[in-house]
A = this chain, B = another copy of it.
Amino acid sequence: MNLLGTSIVGGSRGLAGSDCFRATAPGTGTALEPAFFAASRDEVDRAVTLATEAFEVYGRLSGAARGELLRRIAAQLESVEPGLIERAHLETALPVVRLRGEIGRTCSQLRLFAQVVEEGSWTTPRIDHGDPNRKPLPKPDVRSMLRPLGPVVVFGASNFPFAFSVAGGDTASALAAGNPVIVKAHPAHPGTSELVGLAIRASISELGLHEGCFSLLFDSRNRVGEELVRHPQIKAGAFTGSLPAGRALFHMAVNRAEPIPFYSEMSSTNPLFILPRALEEFGEKIAEGLFGSFTLGAGQFCTKPGLVFLVRGKAADDFVNALRSKVAESTPSTLLTSGIAEHYRGSLEVRRGNLGTRLLAMGAPASETLATTAVTALLQSEAERFLENPMLAEEHFGPSTLIVECQSSQEFLRCAAVLGGQLTATVHGTEQEIREYADLLRRLEAKAGRVIFNGYPTGVEVGHAMVHGGPYPSTTDVRMTSVGTMAIHRFARPICYQDCPESILPEELRDDNPIGLWRLVDGRFSDAKSC
């Protein structure tokens, strides 16, 4: 593990300039070697220029060739797994078993996108045959399919050092669609980023692809990210992180001379509604599941359930008591950065005793307190207070949740109405009961990208049907998802060919359908070999 700390600019390395930073080990508070060097403006330009050159070639590679790259990256990551885990554990204090699982997920994700592009129907080819004899005018032959956008900038997230970082879902889906990627590394895990970046670079080089397909740039401030988003040759961007940062980058992207698609995945409280009969019958089990979900990864998941709505009564008391003892018995967590931990503690301070909430329970205090230490917290409020204090509906990142007691299920509806856009909303109820709460369900559908029944929002399944997205402020583009195979659509656009000679058409659009794609031919789905 020989880290240089310089940016990866295509096949070369950046310079070791004067603007440098070190990662801090959240588990000990010590600064980690080596120093990492912010990319210079020249390095940003060089990375974008290389990406633009690479696009000319990489954007036209076959799905099979792009799939090979994704598979190679997965294999490379697996081959250096011990080093990745060691460094990531130092930089994030996340447990080794979690990091191992996350690398597994990252590699499966790369292979899933490989499958999608090798198969190829994601390009949604459409063919409308012409008719030279149509009256009054001949009908042209019109064919279209999705094509990549161009160089994409990806911002690594702090809370998933693999699955939402350098080789995470954004990079995998952008590369899969045929776009070169420039990653702005998250400064909280630069060493992990460099190692993953080197694995990607090695894969590109082994396959003889253009070096500009991938670059990784460091910076502990905002400059490099802004230069990338504002660069005229960058054609799309993706970010996972805080609301202020995600919103700022989105505004930069859409207010450029040429606005570009920009996908920020930002802020969600992931409300969970427990309907009365479910609370009565399964309260204890739900308390257990909920505790596991809101403390998973020390509550640092975008899908952490931060608001729990239930109707006052004996069952609610039992539920709250069960949750309270779990929280009281919990041990302290180490958060990813001192900044996240400060924010967690500050928001907790504002919430407890203020805004009509009270602190029901806290975990055991830490024997030795670091700047990154956080104690699990359970807060409680009433619907009336919740409705009066919009701040309570905001995300509180870290191991806490807020129980909102309602007088009646009518108050569920009023509370649901004031919620902002969400990645997820969860309902616990018997089947019969959920049908009775159709109004609530409709309201939640309107607010969230994913509605979960009798489960928990953490643990996002990477598949074809997953939607990890939702109305603002959970994301900046309600039409898209950042997890699952549909994420590839963020980085593509339709191109149409009218009366194009067969020998010039892309394979996907030829009558003989050489790749055997599913296509919409004259309005009908078909995978026929000729049409």
**A residues in contact (CB < 8 Å) with B:** 56, 60, 115, 121, 126-128, 137, 139-140, 142-144, 147, 149-150, 250-251, 254-255, 258-259, 261, 421, 431, 434-435, 441-442, 445-446, 448-455, 459, 461, 463-467, 469, 471-473, 476-481, 486, 489, 492-501, 503-504, 518, 520, 522-523, 525, 527
Contacts and interface: CB of A to CB of B under 8 A. Distances in A.
Given A259-B250, A504-B441, A525-B527, A142 B469 contact: no
A355 to B, nearest CB: 21
Given A434-B504, A504-B435, A495 B261 contact: no
A481 B142 CA distance: 14
Nearest to A125: B465
B255 A251 contact: yes
A477 B253 CA distance: 12
Contacts of A481: 494
Nearest to A55: B446
Contacts of A486: 126, 144, 494
A109 to B, nearest CB: 14
A452 B498 contact: yes
Given A149-B478, A504-B435, A518-B525, A494 B259 contact: no
Nearest to A115: B523
As for how many copies of this chain the complex holds, the number is 2
- When A and B form their complex, which 10 residue pairs have the shortest distance between CB atoms, in order from nearest? A467-B496, A126-B465, A450-B496, A128-B463, A452-B498, A254-B254, A431-B501, A142-B465, A128-B465, A144-B465
B525 A121 contact: yes
B461 A142 contact: yes
Contacts of A150: 446
Contact of A445 (B147, B421, B498): B147
Contacts of A498: 450-453, 455, 461
B434 A501 contact: yes
Contacts of A499: 452-455
Contact of A466 (B142, B454, B455, B466): B142
Contact of A461 (B139, B495, B518): B139
A104 to B, nearest CB: 10
B495 A467 contact: yes
A204 to B, nearest CB: 22
A128 B461 contact: yes
Given A128-B463, A453-B504, 6 more contacts: A448-B495, A452-B499, A464-B523, A467-B495, A469-B494, A479-B493
Contacts of A500: 451, 453
Nearest to A256: B472
A442 B147 CA distance: 12
Given A142-B466, A144-B467, A464-B520, A496 B451 contact: yes
Contacts of A445: 147, 495
Contacts of A251: 254-255
A449 B259 contact: no
A496 B480 CA distance: 12
A302 to B, nearest CB: 15
Contacts of A142: 461, 463, 465-466
A236 to B, nearest CB: 9
A102 B140 CA distance: 18
Contact of A140 (B56, B455, B471): B455
Contacts of A477: 261
Nearest to A467: B496
A390 B326 CA distance: 68
B464 A479 contact: no
10 contacts: A128-B466, A250-B254, A254-B255, A261-B478, A435-B504, A441-B504, A467-B496, A479-B489, A480-B494, A481-B494
